Each structure stands twice: as C-alpha cells, then as structure tokens.
Amino acid sequence: IPTIKSGMIISDAELDLGFAAHYSKGDDAYNLTTRIFIPITKQRIGLQINVVPYERYMMTPETRDIRRARDFDGQGYALGDIHIGTWIQLTKPTSDLQLLLTLNLKTASGTNREATRYTDGSGYNFDLSCGRSFKANGKLKNIRPHMQIGFYVWETNEDRNPQNDAFSFGAGADWEFDRSMLTAQIAGYLGYKGDGDKPVALRVNYTYKLSESSALNLATQYGLRDTPYRTISLSCIRSWK
C-alpha cells in the first residue's frame, strides 16, 4: 500500500534506518528497513529511495502449500525490492494549501521468488497529495489534515492478466507538539481483478525529536481488508541541512 504523504516535501536530507515485524495467521516476518531522502532543489524537488535489505520469514506448512511455495520448511530469508520516488512540490512553501506530486518506481530486484516472498515484476505509481496546517493552542502546535489519490500499476506474472491497475487513496491527520508528532491514516487501493487486490489498512505513527537533527519513529499498521498482516516498526531518523 503506497505511503501517504501530507502535501509537503521534506526540506532536509534524511536517512531512516529501522526494524519491522509483521504478524499474520500462517506467515510471520521480520526485516530491516532503509530510507534515504535527497533534496535536489530546495523545497521543490527531491529523490527518495526505500529498500528492505534483509527479511527473515516463517510460514506454516499450510500457508506454504496454499501459495505453492517451493520451500521445504517454509523458512528462510530474502532481499527486498528497491522503491525509487521523485517528489515534486507543486505549490509555493508559503501557500496555505500545499500540493505534492510523487512519481514512484518499484524494481523487480527482490529475491527468493521460489518461496513467494517477492515477484519477478516491476510496478509504478503516481500520487497527488494535499494538506493544510492549522495552528492550535497549548502544547498542541499544529493540526494538519491531508489526503492523497493516485494510480498504481504492477506486473502480475500471469499470461492472461499480465498487469493490474488500481486507484489508490488515503487520508489522515498530523498532530504536532513541541518535540513530537502523532499521525493517523487510512490507506488502500482498488485493483480490478478482485482476487485480494483491494487492501485497506489503518496506520498510526509517533515521531519523537531527540535533537534538531535526529528523531525516533514508532509505527504500526493494521490490515482492515485484503491484508492480514499486523505490523510494528521502530526506526531512527537522521537529517542534514
């Protein structure tokens, strides 16, 4: 499910390293996470790269057989796909309502396809997000509601339907305090095949600033439809002017 942006580009360079755990009935997985954001033009254009450098998984025999995975014990490791995104701020930084366009590409570099961890198919998605900040009183500094719509396309490795197209969507809000921020979102997409390609998930993120250039992020995701996984992750974010 695509990441939901708030209509505002990241102003500084960022490196985000962390750990994520995913739980479901029949398939548990643990992986490292890596994200880097590089500003190209100040507050206008940036480049983001996401990759899972290592994943450890444990499937039950029943799940292994349902997926027809060629994996003897349903356990092993894999390397993830690379996601590359170009962020373009369409409005001025001083605008009340801000618009952000992102152009994203997913490579087919994931490994261990025999165990059905990744597919030998690429994908891409275009997202347009918007958001506006409202000043608050007391310890709560700002509230920023935001929403996003997009178009998501990926290869399926099927002869009859080699490609699936989906309308993607998401909405949420940021609650910004002096040294922390809480974000709640709902996100998903709607494919046309109807074989589990209409996932919807609820996401909650909490970011705490350790200093002007470093922060901790605790996040969780709960699948509401067509995604059985419950995810929790912890990462450290380092930024540079």
Give me the numbers of helices (H) and strands (E) for the chain, helices first please: 1, 15
What are 7-33's pLDDT values in tens digits? 999 999 999 999 999 999 889 999 999
pLDDT reported for residue 127 = 96
Q: 35-57 in b/e burial notation, b at 16+ Cβ within 10 A?
A: bebebeeeeeebebebbbeebeb
Residue 198's nearest CA partner among 164, 236, 231 is: 164
Tell me which of 32-41, 68-77, 226-235 is least confident. 68-77
Both tokens of 206, joined, read 């909490």
User: Which pLDDT band holds residue 66 (cuts at 50, 70, 90)?
Assistant: confident
Please state the φ and ψ torsions of residue 66, each to the nearest 5 degrees.
Answer: -60, -40
pLDDT reported for residue 63 = 83
**Cβ–Cβ contacts within 10 Å for residue 141, how many?**
14
User: Which pLDDT band holds residue 161 (cuts at 50, 70, 90)?
Assistant: confident
In angstroms, the CA 169 to CA 174 distance is 17
DSSP characters for 157-199? --SS--EEEEEEEEEEEEEE-SSEEEEEEEEEEEESS-SS---
Residue 227 one-letter amino acid:
T
What are 97-156's pLDDT values in tens digits? 999 999 999 988 878 777 788 777 788 999 999 999 999 988 899 999 999 999 999 887
**Does residue 239 contact residue 214 with C-beta atoms inside 8 Å?**
yes
Both tokens of 57, joined, read 């998984």
pLDDT reported for residue 192 = 87
In angstroms, the CA 82 to CA 76 distance is 20
204, pLDDT greater than 90: yes
The radius of gyration of the chain's CA atoms, rounded to the nearest angstrom, is: 19
Q: Which stretches of the chain are DSSP H helices?
A: 61-66
Residue 209 one-letter amino acid:
K
pLDDT reported for residue 107 = 87
Both tokens of 90, joined, read 């369409």
